[in-house]
A and B are shown apart, each in its own frame.
Chain A
Amino acid sequence: MEFINLVLGSFSLLLSPQILLYVVAGFLIGTIFASIPGLTATLALALLLPLTYSLDVSTALMACASIYMAGMCGGSITATTINIPGAPSSMMTALDGYPMQLQGKGPLALGHAAFGSMVGGALGAILLIVLAPFVAEVALLVKTTGKFSLLAFAIVVIVIAQRGKVVKAGMAACIGLMLATVGLDAMEPMTRFTFGSSELTAGLDLMPMIIGTFAISEILIQAKSNGCAEKMVEALKKVTISRRDFIPPLSEIRKIGVMCYLKSSLIGYAVGTLPGAGGSMGSFLAYAETVRTSDEPETFGKGNPKGIVASESANNAVCGGALVPMLTFGIPGDPVTAIMLGVLVINGIQPGPQLMVGQAELIAPMLASLLFSALILIPLTLYLLGPYFIKIVAIRKDVLYGIIALLAVVGSYVATFSTFQMMMSLIIGILAYYLRKHDFPVITLLLGFILGPNLEEFLRRSLSLSNGNPMTFFTNYDSLFFVILTLIFVYFLAIKKPLKKPF
């Protein structure tokens, strides 16, 4: 209850014009990035990460939360208008959004998407606010061996969640773990893999890792597929949407049914709590469940607003779910929460259960911003700026990538004022580009890098405490719990047959 009061109290921070400006600007940037196919809210956050150095942690996290929420709903704009999802999480939205656009109901489809996003985002945020303190209390019970098994569980789940490319995901995670071992050993005064370079003694910085993995590799990918972008801009120029039809009538919302909103949001939230699952899996599962339980499944894929609602409620509820493991265990579930974790780390704050218990005042404003973004900014932004987003999205790609390239490269200079970090960003960016080109999921690389140091530390501490006996991972109940959980997830995600696509 104390934490809920703290979150409610944090809404007063939004009365400060400066903080409100950062939150609203973050939301607009997130929406623009998410609505441009090829760009994502992750890229927006990666580019803005260096700027968080000059902000206080709470304000930076509030801006991050609004970008995250915007990133999940912004993709529906181009998914609906030109059948190209701006973000992967809006893939399922396009199935019914675009047919509605073809029927001349594009604005209404966007209205349904925004309303679904608002409900899903708000429910996800409320569940996070209510449940996170309890999860953090439970997390405090997890000791060293349990922490190792938990981190191993997270990495295994992230890898096996990449269906169809598990070996590639495993390899990418190994590269991330390898990069995490560069520098001074955490327990003994010995350097590893530095090749005599004094600049590598402290290890690789998180900033060039994030900027390289998400920003520079994206510029390289887009440079290769530039022709597609031009076609997309041409398609967008033909689209016109008006504001008057945005608001979905109450009769249609009733027809969709409260249960559809609630069930999809709960599915999204639950999926969000799993490491590596993300918005696209949440929206896919909610959509599949809505089709499965519908009386008229044949109408889906032909412009049924229920499909849009299911997809958008779920992907926005993922935001609340994905923050649970990040805040309570220090395990990021997706790229955005990995960057948010980066904001904490670069400010010298160690994420984990102690953070929720001991420094809740830092986290509460972020959750207030998440709820504010869902309830106020999603509908307001769509209503006020919806018609103009199409024009913004049709921005010249050469100019856009000029700006992104400048922000990415100069951004990596900001951390240490050294061109060495810029060079590291380029090297990591080239590595990530070739990995992505060969269909390796780079998110597992980043999570391997982030979780690697703790994974190693807890493994070595656990075995030191047990005099080198590996059975300690099976005899401690907290560790055994995560070992069994890992086996369950391996069974359901890697061994059991996957769900069929609805279309």
Chain B
Amino acid sequence: MLLNKNVVFHFLLFFLSVGYFVIAINLGAPFANNGLQPSSFPLLIGLFAMMFSSILLYREVKLMKSKASSLEDDTQTDNALSGKGRFAPLAVMLSIFLYILLFSPLGYFFSSILFVLSIIIIFSSLEKVLQKIVISTIIVSFGYLVFEQMFGVRLPTLWG
């Protein structure tokens, strides 16, 4: 399972490189009037990226085939990684995404308290939530002092 994920990741990189190269081709001819045009550099980078990503993809596929026989061991490793640690990065990504969405409508204070609380819970547990709310409020107030009071950054507020 873990190895398949690696192949998928390397395939995505290859796909990204090919996509970039195709868009670069559509930017126009690379040479005109004895000079390089805007498409030339992206074409060159796209070529290198396709070369590197195809080597990496080939290596991963080869590795996957050679380890296919020891699939059971991989499944065990994957199971060991399961649980909180496995989903924690996804939970952090979701927290940041929601925080960004709520940052302007809810204002700095409310959105930040919810965000910091969610990060603290992801990095610990759901125990002693009240204590964690107090800690989150202190951290957010400290952030307010640093950004708005010390460095004069105007942060959004609920009341506009």
Binding site for B on A (CB under 8 A): 50-51, 53-54, 167-168, 170-171, 174-175, 177-178, 181, 185, 187-188, 190, 192-193, 216, 219-227, 396-399, 401-403, 405-407, 409-410, 413-414, 417, 419, 422-423, 426, 429-430, 433-434, 438, 455-456, 459-460, 463-464, 467-468
Besides the known contacts A193-B20, A402-B123, 7 further A-B residue pairs in the complex with CB atoms under 8 A apart: A171-B56, A192-B42, A220-B93, A402-B117, A403-B116, A467-B34, A468-B31
Chain B residues contacting A177 (CB-CB under 8 Å) are 45
Chain B residues contacting A190 (CB-CB under 8 Å) are 27, 38
Q: How far is the CB of A183 from chain B (nearest CB, A)?
A: 11
**Is B61 positioned at the interface, with any CB of A under 8 Å from its CB?**
no
Flag if A397 contacts B123 (CB, 8 Å): yes
Flag if A433 contacts B89 (CB, 8 Å): yes
Chain B residues contacting A224 (CB-CB under 8 Å) are 85-86, 88-89
Flag if B112 contacts A187 (CB, 8 Å): no
Flag if B151 contacts A406 (CB, 8 Å): no
Q: What are some 5 contacts across the A-B interface (CB < 8 A)?
A: A167-B55, A193-B20, A399-B120, A405-B119, A410-B112
The CB with the most chain A CB atoms within 10 A, among B20, B55, B89, B155, is that of B89
Given known contacts A174-B17, A226-B88, A460 and B35 CB-to-CB distance under 8 angstroms: yes
Chain A residues contacting B16 (CB-CB under 8 Å) are 175
Flag if B49 contacts A178 (CB, 8 Å): yes
From 15 to 59 in chain B, residues with beta carbon under 8 angstroms from any chain A beta carbon are 16-17, 20, 23, 27, 31, 34-38, 40-42, 45-46, 48-49, 52-53, 55-56, 59
Chain B residues contacting A417 (CB-CB under 8 Å) are 154
In the complex formed, the residue of A with least CB distance to B135 is A399
In the complex formed, the residue of A with least CB distance to B84 is A226
Given known contacts A51-B146, A409-B99, A464-B36, A167 and B120 CB-to-CB distance under 8 angstroms: no
Given known contacts A399-B135, A463-B35, A468-B34, A406 and B45 CB-to-CB distance under 8 angstroms: no
Flag if A426 contacts B93 (CB, 8 Å): yes
Flag if B103 contacts A419 (CB, 8 Å): yes
Q: How far is the CB of A143 from chain B (nearest CB, A)?
A: 17
From 141 to 155 in chain B, residues with beta carbon under 8 angstroms from any chain A beta carbon are 142-143, 146-147, 151-155
In the complex formed, the residue of A with least CB distance to B40 is A460
Complex: how many Å from CA A185 to CA B38?
6
Contact mask B1-21 → A, CB, 8 Å, 1/0? Answer: 000001001100100110010
Flag if A220 contacts B139 (CB, 8 Å): no
Contact mask B57-74 → A, CB, 8 Å, 1/0? Answer: 001000000000000000
Other-chain residue from B13, B23, B52 in contact with A193 (beta carbon distance below 8 A): B23
Complex: how many Å from CA A414 to CA B49?
33
Q: Is the interface of A mostly helix, strand, loop or mixed?
A: helix
Other-chain residue from A170, A398, A455, A459 in contact with B120 (beta carbon distance below 8 A): A398
Flag if B41 contacts A459 (CB, 8 Å): yes
Other-chain residue from B31, B41, B124, B151 in contact with A51 (beta carbon distance below 8 A): B151
Flag if A402 contacts B139 (CB, 8 Å): yes
Chain B residues contacting A406 (CB-CB under 8 Å) are 112, 115-116, 119, 139-140, 143
Chain B residues contacting A459 (CB-CB under 8 Å) are 36, 41
Q: How far is the CB of B126 from chain A (nearest CB, A)?
A: 12
Q: How far is the CB of B28 from chain A (nearest CB, A)?
A: 8
Flag if A422 contacts B103 (CB, 8 Å): yes
Chain B residues contacting A429 (CB-CB under 8 Å) are 96
Other-chain residue from B35, B103, B123 in contact with A226 (beta carbon distance below 8 A): B123
Flag if B37 contacts A188 (CB, 8 Å): yes
Flag if A423 contacts B147 (CB, 8 Å): no
Other-chain residue from B48, B59, B124, B153 in contact with A174 (beta carbon distance below 8 A): B48
Given known contacts A397-B123, A399-B139, A168 and B56 CB-to-CB distance under 8 angstroms: yes
Given known contacts A401-B123, A419-B100, A460-B41, A410 and B36 CB-to-CB distance under 8 angstroms: no
Other-chain residue from B49, B91, B96, B112 in contact with A175 (beta carbon distance below 8 A): B49
Contact mask B114-140 → A, CB, 8 Å, 1/0? Answer: 011101111110000000100110011
Q: How far is the CB of B52 from chain A (nearest CB, A)?
A: 4
Q: How far is the CB of A475 from chain B (nearest CB, A)?
A: 17
**Is B157 positioned at the interface, with any CB of A under 8 Å from its CB?**
no
In the complex formed, the residue of A with least CB distance to B46 is A178
The CB with the most chain B CB atoms within 10 A, among A193, A405, A467, is that of A405
Complex: how many Å from CA A219 to CA B120?
12
Chain A residues contacting B95 (CB-CB under 8 Å) are 405
Complex: how many Å from CA A23 to CA B4?
48
Complex: how many Å from CA A306 to CA B88?
42
Other-chain residue from A398, A401, A407, A438 in contact with B6 (beta carbon distance below 8 A): A438
Q: How far is the CB of B74 from chain A (nearest CB, A)?
A: 16
**Is B104 positioned at the interface, with any CB of A under 8 Å from its CB?**
yes
Given known contacts A167-B55, A170-B48, A223-B91, A188 and B38 CB-to-CB distance under 8 angstroms: yes
Chain A residues contacting B49 (CB-CB under 8 Å) are 171, 174-175, 178
Complex: how many Å from CA A258 to CA B112?
53
Chain A residues contacting B35 (CB-CB under 8 Å) are 460, 463-464, 468
Chain B residues contacting A170 (CB-CB under 8 Å) are 48, 52
In the complex formed, the residue of A with least CB distance to B88 is A223
Q: How far is the CB of B49 from chain A (nearest CB, A)?
A: 4
Flag if B143 contacts A223 (CB, 8 Å): no
Complex: how many Å from CA A378 to CA B116?
33
Complex: how many Å from CA A335 to CA B6?
26
In the complex formed, the residue of A with least CB distance to B44 is A459
Flag if A407 contacts B143 (CB, 8 Å): yes
